[in-house]
Every structure is written in C-alpha cells, then in structure tokens.
Structure 1
C-alpha cells in the first residue's frame, strides 16, 4: 500500500488521476493538496469519500513537510501548475511562483523527509510536465523525444522547463527518486473551459463564436486524459528512477481539424437528441444549422508554437504504454460527458464569463 500526495488533485488532469488511481489501486491512501484557485474545483472529487482534500499552497514548504510526516507519505505526484499559455503572456509572475518556486518547495520537503532524516523509506517523486518545453517543430521535423533539447517559447513553457530541470537536479545531486513525464495536449472530463476543446464545445452549444488563432493550422498531439493517467500510473509502477518519459496520444492534428470534429459531433448530437434544442436554444444546431458557421479567425497569439508531436517509443518499450483512444472516439466520450454535466460547467461559465 502506498500513501500519496497528489498536488493539484482538484484540477483537470489531477482529479482525473485521483479518480483513476483510486479505481485501479483502491488500497492506496491519497491526500490531495490543492490551493483551489480558479481552475481547482473540490466538486471534481465528488464520490471519493476516502480521499482527503487539504486546501493549501505547494509553496508552503512547512505545510508540505507536515503532510508528509502526518500521513506517512511515500509518493508525490505533482500536477499543480499554472498552465494556460494566454494567461502566462499577460501575467507571467504567477507561473514562475507556482511552477518554479512551488516545485522547488515540494522537492525541498521531499528531500528533508525522505533523505535528510535518514528514514531510508522507499519513495517516488513524479513530476508532470509538458511537451511545450521542447519548443516548436517544423512540418517535417521528427517528433519530440526525451533527448530533444529544450527550447521553450512562452512564459508558461519556460516555467515548466525550469521545474523539469529542478527535478532532474534533485535526482542527480541528492539521489531523490524521481520520474518526469512530458505530455501532449490533454482533453476530457473536468477540463476548465478556457482550453480549446471545452471552450469550443461549450461555445458551440451556446451559439458563441469559435475564435481560431491565425490560420488554424497549428498542429498538436491530442491525448485523452485517461490515457495520460494510465501513462502516469505506469511511470509510478514501472518507471526507472531519474528517467523522463514522453506521454502522447498519437493523434497529431491541426487545430482546424479538431474544431471541425467538434462542430460535426455537436451537430450529430442535436440530430440524434431533439431535447438538446430545448436545452441549448442558441446553438446553430438547435435551428437545423451548422455549428461551423460560428468559426471566426482572430489575430494569432504571440509566440504561438506551430507544431508539437510526441515520439512515445521509450514509454512504449519501458512502460508498456499505448494510448487506447483515437481522437474521434475520445472526443465523443468527452462531448457526452459535457452534455450530461451541465451542472458542473454552467457555474464556471457564469462565474468566469469565459464564453466570449
């Protein structure tokens, strides 16, 4: 039995991981440490009565140390991060504070508990990072692998790159048992509606514009969040100490293709269920029209990376990791979740006024 801290466990990927790990390893004890900022939501953990949620800041090293001691923690799975590139452009300070200083705070507490005090306790610090640390690829460049040089282009990716280097340094300098995973673009349940897929899905349902940066041909590798959780679980159980693993979905798609699939799936859902027209009367599909009419091209984002792609050969060979979903299947599941959980996302839109 393991005792885990999951930082950011009330956020999108973290909450999905807590649900997944609780399901596949129910004997483990999980403590979620989350500051419950705008993207953290305690309701993401509904139904997990045996999971302890502590509202707190990863930058509070004393708090982290107390949690490790009081709950005999032997594993930290570190999701907590500021992650929205647009926000990092307008307000980079929060990204440095959370992603760099916060990660270092956790590393200090882990080192103190697991190494300095001489317990000899087997442990694992797993750090969840992003493929954006590698920069941008040209159309014919090979996909990112674990030896691709870092070249972050946004304040967000630069802060994540710095945190990756700190984790590496704590392993090589102090002997902390660490693994790091760099994932591609996630989507799925509980994703805060500022990211492309939930934002465009909910805009289509509410008859709001679908704002497409530039020419819409920026390419991303899309990864369903449960496949990502399976990859992280494999890092914990099979990953070699000090190693980095790239976790991808094997679905390299231009943004326009993703947006067209969102429009197609929403239109088909309305055609199959007449009740949706009553629930979402402002949707073009409620009037027998196409969601694609909401597409609007806007000025490109500053420093917008053109293409990301993941070479997951190492994860396949070392961890037996294989993504289980293609994008059409994964998005069909995601759309079904959002249609059934209006109670979850409607308050977020009303509070944050995210639908533009």
Structure 2
C-alpha cells in the first residue's frame, strides 16, 4: 500500500513505476516516474544529476544493478510514510507537465514476428503461394529503420509523399500516400550496450534490455509496395515512428511473462528457448480510431519473443548501444477484431471497416486520430499500464 492514496484501478501503481522525461513551466527536462496521477521528479528527489540530463540514456547505461537499486528505493519511499516529507514536495500533477521522447534513440530495428499478421499479408499479396515465406519460421525477419524519426506520442503525423504505382498504372506517379496505415507494436529499449563481434545470447536478454514501450510504426502502404523489392521497407516507413512517453521496466512485467506459442520447426541453437525462462509477454493492446475501439491485438501470441529478436540482431556480431530500440512488428491475432493494422482490418481495402458513426475506413484520412493503449498483469494482482501512443493525421506538405 502507498501513502499517496492512489486512484482505484490506476495502471500506474507501485508495481509499475515507469520512467519518462518531462518538463514543467521552467522548461527544464528531467527524468520522472509515473505514480498514480502524478510524476515524481527524480532529479529533485534523488539529487542525482543523471536524472537531469533530459533523457534516460545515462541512467540506463548504469545497468541492471542500478536499475534494481533505484526501483527498490522508490518502492520504499512510496510505501513507507516516514519518507513522505522528502518525496511529496517533488510530486507534480501529471496533467501539468509536458512529456518528451524518453530516450535518445541510437538505432531502430523493426521486426515481423506475428504469425497472424504475416499470414494475413501473405494471403493478400501471394494468394497462389504459401502465406509465409520459407525463412519466416526459422528466423525473426526485420529491417533497420530511421532512428531520427522516432518521436514521442502526440507528434503530428504528416501524410508522406512519394512514388507509388497502382496495379492499373503503366508508370509510377508521385504524390501523397493514399494508403496511410498504422502498425500496433511493442518496443524494447536497450540500456546496456555490447561488444562488437560478440553475440548476445538468449539468457543475457535482461542484462541488456531495460524495459518496454508502445510503438506505432506508421506505414505508407502504397509507397512501401512499390519500393520494397528487392531490399525492403524504406520511405514507406521512415517518415515517423511514434512511441509512448513511458518506458515500463522489465521488472514490472514479471507477472506478464508467458510461454510463446509452440514453434512448428526445430530452431537453431542460438534461437532455441525450449526449457528456458520464457520471454513471451501477456500484453493486451487496444486500437482506437477517433475514439472508437476498432481492434484488440494480443501480444502473447507473438511467434518470436524479444529475447530471440535480440539474439538474432547480434548473432552476426553487431553491437548494441544504449538507447537502441527494437520493435516487435505488427501485433495481430486470429480474429478479425484482433488485427493490428488497417491493411488487415480492411483486407487490403477490399472490405472497408464500418464505424459507429456510419462512415467507413480502408486506410487513414486527414484529421483521423489513432490512439494505442496497452495493459499487462502486474505483480500486485491488478493490471499495469504501458501508457498510450497518439497521433493525428495532417495533410501532406
């Protein structure tokens, strides 16, 4: 129990304590921890300059021991009323501060790890072939994204322009994307880097990864479909990737850990997690369009876990850096209302999604607002919040 008198059902209880970066009227950016409807100013409360740098990177680089020690200290401060006089002056109303990108992104990698999403796209685009490519069940497929366009929730989504070629066109045309889409994902933030040339094994996942955030990997499907052969996504993805302002520590997700789905083929040793502590996660995502709930993608069905994704990222000797972000890829389930993208919800535009106001959508229109939220089981028996990712679509410039 906390002396704060937390709101009933809050997703930001003692068992969560996610980290972010905020500013108040002073304009100074520093690290905060969400608790109930408040933000605890860590720079002021701890007196540690690492929390006054304007990003989480310097703290994350200290590693798991420092992460655990601070979490223990915060738990003690917020549950033992003898600390109230020290802590309470540094609690600020969450609605009175501005939240910023929590991490200086070093590298950004996005994966393609939902079997249901991959099979849906395969059936759309390769109806006369098996829905999965031959490599899909053997390795986590991914692409290297553009770190500089990873931005915090609330950043406007300016409709991108580029080359696109419709099936009936003889040549490509240039203009605003007509098939602007979302991808509901979960992201993983690297705290501790690794040595170049030394792979990171599955068992070392928690030695390097600090926590998770929500990700919306906005996608221009028409630009992407024209450019992606033979090298993969580029301008159809790189215009914006939105992340939640809060990074939830892995320690807060212990109760959410589950075994991943059964694998259909034997895995190579560096990816084989049979008999290991599982890193599947029971995270429930909700997707809202203009306030209406349109999808509930289930993260626990993801075929490839974050530990496997990290092991695959580094198996060739690639090094990790503090601030690296890697995302799960679109999260989708077997049901129509569990699809994490509009290309699936509208089946490539062939089956428009009917909304409660009588309108329909195939892809996003200017003015649309998309909000992703997510929760997971907490160690105290309730549910913890991963916050939200919001984006409003603006016309092309």
Flag the structure with higher helix content.
1
Flag the structure with higher strand content.
2
Greater gyration radius: 2
Instruction: Confirm or deny a common fold (TM above 0.5).
Output: no
- Considering Cα pairs closer than 8 Å and 6+ residues apart, tell me whether 1 or 2 has the greater RCO: 2
TM-score by length of structure 1 reads 0.24
TM-score by length of structure 2 reads 0.22
